[in-house]
Structure 1
Amino acid sequence: MSKLPNCSEAVISRSKIEHYLLNPAHCEGKSKAMFFSKFGYSLANSSDFHESLRALACESLIIHIEERPPFGTRITTEGTLHTPDLRNPRVRIGWFFDRDDPKNIPRLITVIPVRSK
């Protein structure tokens, strides 16, 4: 397994975090917000969540690559998210590489928990 290309340049938008991943009122994101809140993340400390995702971009390992012609490539990584309560769950992160981006910079799509076996 390898690391995410250009991970240090990854685009992790505050909007994605605050309006989707940590938003308990979002129709699709509320289950994620509930999950992350169990580990100490909320809108109040969204900047900490942002920093944890930034670190994880370079720590996680690629588990799946999917070409999405003609748009680009989706890469899924998996790793341990450092959390305020120190329980640090495993998560999968979806990244997208736009075909027309000459710098080949990953853009965060989503973060989902890894189910325990």
Structure 2
Amino acid sequence: MLIQFGQDFSNYLYDVFIAKFDFWLGFGLVAQLFFTARFLVQWISSERAGRSVVPMAFWIFSMGGGLMTLVYGIVKREPVIILGQALATIIYVRNIMLIVKNRASGSQTLNR
């Protein structure tokens, strides 16, 4: 039973990541890497500051990864991805707009 499970799992991984590999799967994987990078950026910035901060790069990676994931969802016709990323991308863009507005007015924010 355990051997059969291992073989089935191996076949599943091969089917998902090798047999079905095309441009859009590669695009989706890169999008996910961008999206994941935002957490590394936030963690490193917080460690350097000695407190929790959300740097502008976090929002840039969020927007880039979110837009790429949205495009992937549209091409692959995945309604869950489309709905989730469409709303999230609006939030990312709005946060960037607020940061730029605050920087232009000379406000002190944690987003530097």
Sort the TM-score into its range (normalised by shorter chain): under 0.3
Work out which structure has the larger RCO, using CA pairs closer than 8 Å and 6 or more positions apart in sequence. 1
What TM-score, normalized to structure 2? Answer: 0.23
What TM-score, normalized to structure 1? Answer: 0.22
Is the strand fraction higher in 1 or 2? Answer: 1
Is the helix fraction higher in 1 or 2? Answer: 2
